[in-house]
């Protein structure tokens, strides 16, 4: 792989939206298509959903990801500009993300594993509220949470679904995870917890037959889970690149002062 100071090989990964496809055509025409399988840098064109898909596809590779916003929110993206891309990539600042690992057991006795970069969420599947017990590092902390669901968010994902569910915004270097209830009915006033990133969480679904629950890691879902374990995977590192003036740490800080 090329060093940061040399000219990196660049490939492009685009969403299916008209704006992203137009950007893909323009950029590949200017810089060449590149080979995603062997590129030093993958430039992602789209929104945060496209970025998450690109990161999942690059999970086991030493490749850097530079996003340009052609979508709606684009919190994980840089501004879109076709000029000076190679120079932008060279001077970009790195952010290292460690994903969450989910292990879920289902009612049929099977065990499933998924990985999440933003969050892992447990959600009720029917009109009845879910009943979930929560253990942290082998100790029961809540015997029964009656709710629409509950989620675990990384710092990078804390401004996404977690924030919409009134969870805390976490600085990247905080070394913590957010545990956030979704429409908690009992205990009604519980607002969640902030946990060390090394914490191991275990969720046990009560009355799973009558109150089925699904588990979702970013965009991958497992239905009718009975038990879910979540922990951070420190052995997997994902490298995002940001323009110095649009660094992710600064965006997370700014988000805390939005009206």
Count of CB atoms situated within 10 Å of the CB of 10: 23
Q: Is 113 annotated as a binding residue?
A: no
Q: Is 69 annotated as a binding residue?
A: no
Q: Is 25 annotated as a binding residue?
A: no
- Residue 119: asked if its preceding bond is cis (omega within 30°), the reply is no
Q: Is 92 annotated as a binding residue?
A: no
Helices (H) and strands (E) in the chain, counts: 5, 17
Q: Is the dihedral of CA 82, 86, 88, 89 positive or negative?
A: positive
Q: Catalytic residue positions?
A: 48
Listed in sequence order, the residues at least 6 apart from 109 whose beta carbon sits closer than 8 Å to its beta carbon are none
Q: Is 208 annotated as a binding residue?
A: no
The Cα–Cα gap between 5 and 19 comes to 31
177 in Cβ contact with 144 (< 8 Å): no
Q: Is 160 annotated as a binding residue?
A: yes
Q: Is 148 annotated as a binding residue?
A: yes
Name the helix (H) or strand (E) containing 52: helix 48-57
Q: Is 164 annotated as a binding residue?
A: yes
Q: Is 48 annotated as a binding residue?
A: yes
Q: Which residues are annotated as a binding site for NAD(+)?
A: 48-49, 53, 118-119, 148, 156, 159-164, 220
Q: What are the binding residues?
A: 48-49, 53, 118-119, 148, 156, 159-164, 220
């Amino acid at each position: 792989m090329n060093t940061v100071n040399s000219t990196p090989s660049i490939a492009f990964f685009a969403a299916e939206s008209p704006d992203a496809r137009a950007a893909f055509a323009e950029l590949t025409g200017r810089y060449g298509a590149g080979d995603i399988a062997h590129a030093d840098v993958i430039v992602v064109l789209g929104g945060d959903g496209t970025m998450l898909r690109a990161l999942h596809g690059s999970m086991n590779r030493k490749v850097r990801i530079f996003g340009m916003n052609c979508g709606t929110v684009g919190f994980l993206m840089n501004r879109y500009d076709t000029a000076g891309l190679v120079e932008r990539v060279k001077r970009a600042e790195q952010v290292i993300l460690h994903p969450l690992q989910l292990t879920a057991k289902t009612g049929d006795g099977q065990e499933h594993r998924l990985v999440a970069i933003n969050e892992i969420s447990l959600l009720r599947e029917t009109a009845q509220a879910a009943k979930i017990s929560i253990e942290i590092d082998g100790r029961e902390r809540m015997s029964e949470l009656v709710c629409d669901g509950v989620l675990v968010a990384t710092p990078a994902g804390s401004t996404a679904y977690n924030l919409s569910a009134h969870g805390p915004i976490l600085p990247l270097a905080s070394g913590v995870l957010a545990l956030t209830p979704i429409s908690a009915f009992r205990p009604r006033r519980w607002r969640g917890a902030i946990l060390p990133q090394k914490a191991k969480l275990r969720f046990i679904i009560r009355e799973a037959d009558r109150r089925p629950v699904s588990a979702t890691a970013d965009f991958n879902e497992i239905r009718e889970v009975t038990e879910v374990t979540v922990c951070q995977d420190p052995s997997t590192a994902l490298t995002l690149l940001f323009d110095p003036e649009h660094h992710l740490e600064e965006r997370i800080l700014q988000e805390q002062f939005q009206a």
